[in-house]
Structure 1
Amino acid sequence: MAGGNPALPKKGAPGIAYVTDEHWVALGQLRCDDLFIARGKNVYYGLVLRCVAAVGPFRPGNHLVAVRGTMDPLEWANDACAEVLVSASGVPGAVGSGFWDVYASMTVRQMDGGWLPGTAAQAIAGLVKTAPAPVCLVGHSLGAALATYLAADLQAALSPLGVDFTPAFFASPKPGSSDFVNGYQTRVAAYTLVDFAADLVPMLPSSPPSMALKAGGALHNVKMLQRGSPGSPPWPELNPVQNHDPARYALMLDPANATARALLGA
């Protein structure tokens, strides 16, 4: 599925939480190269959505840019290469090679596969410009690292439109060096990072040299979900997949979340 064009799930689709055609219309799809060496496999990495019916904090007209996480062994290889830090043009400090190589290949296509011009951030801003309204950018796991890089470029691309921009990253691996993290806090006006203390992914790549984003005032919010908190996996939390599950994160953030509970079979 990741290699072809995605389709927005229908209302009531099994295993799907909130992103269905009941509440959203898909404006475009994110595409990236999965092979960081051969660059021979271009795949689906997320969606650009516009809300058509209120759901959660979203109101009709709001936009959601959702970046997916790791799905197959090639993407785990990308993740492993993040142990190697490299410089990136125009970015302070150093970034994880595996993460950055995927992000550097990111483009936006129409849902039928037609290309949209410009960088990913420029193309997203172009879609938002047709009906300006707040934009929320989210990513989980590998998608959180990619969303971290995209947030800086998208903030700049959206600036002329004067819309609210809210980036949120979940279960994110460390995106870069300490210089990158310090520079990022200056470059990006606001963000939220949420990790779980028993999740292995936010502990990677090695620290140092790689570092997680930092908190700083009300607009740079970093939240660590604690072991044993409501909604967390049962002790001793030895299942790394369960500890990393986005539905588990949703339940820990809101223990009354019936949708997350159903997805987890809790």
Structure 2
Amino acid sequence: MMLQRPGAARGVFAATGLPPIVWLLALFLAPLAVIWAYSFGENRTLVDIAITGSWANYARALKPLYLAILLKSLGFAALTTFICFILGLPVALAISFASPRAKLLLLLAVMLPFWTNLLIRTYALMAILRTEGLINSGIGAIWSLVPGLGPFEPLPLINNNFAVVVGLVYVHLPFMVLPLYAALDRLDRSLIEASLDLGAGHLATLFRVVVPLALPGIVSGIIITFIPALGAYLTPDLLGGTNSQMIANVIERQFRSANDWPFGAALSFLLMYMTFAALLLQSLIVRRHAGGAP
């Protein structure tokens, strides 16, 4: 067998690796660096941004008005992640213990929403939640069959915080189910059977055996769900009211309506710093779990 010369190997690596590296630098890192520099600048004119090195935009982002919106966004994202975990864990367990044919069909059902545009799915949810939507129409039809109840008042299911959380769960639930399934499907089933044979109930086995063993996948699912939910823009914009806007909607207004790119850049990078912190936390938890594994 002929061995390839080191110089030729480097040439092949350069030919295959250089284009994606250039693409990453030119179309991702360079624009990101520009926006990061803008976060330390100020508007001089409508089209001129001076990089002053000031932290004023970050200080402004932490004022009570914007801090309250940021905390509300964190609350929405945390609640969405919690609900997705509660709903997604049984689904992931059912998929992992299903027969091969059923497993394929269930995974297809979980991934099916990814094949439909998010805007279309959100409008479909609006048709369900609105005042004349399917839920209120169905309840109203049942209400009218009961004598003596009077006229039915439609439930306020849209343009509020409830609609935002429902929409976020609806959009991000597959992001939780797939990592959970990937972690649960790799578990040693003999450990679960041993726990049940030794007298532990199903709930005890779930929380004392399954959850600790699947912890890296659970953490991954939480991070993958929490980060996109925190930066969600379309869902609160279409389903939320004036008091249900999230930080991404504020960022959009700074770039488009207010033409305050430096402040919008500072808000954007606050979200990015939170993302880095979440990824660091995930890495520490996974590393600690791996270090404590037998």
Q: TM-score range by the shorter chain?
A: under 0.3
Q: Which structure shows the higher strand fraction?
A: 1
TM-score (norm: length of structure 1)? 0.26
Larger Rg: 2
Larger RCO: Structure 1 or Structure 2 (Cα < 8 Å, ≥ 6 residues apart)?
2
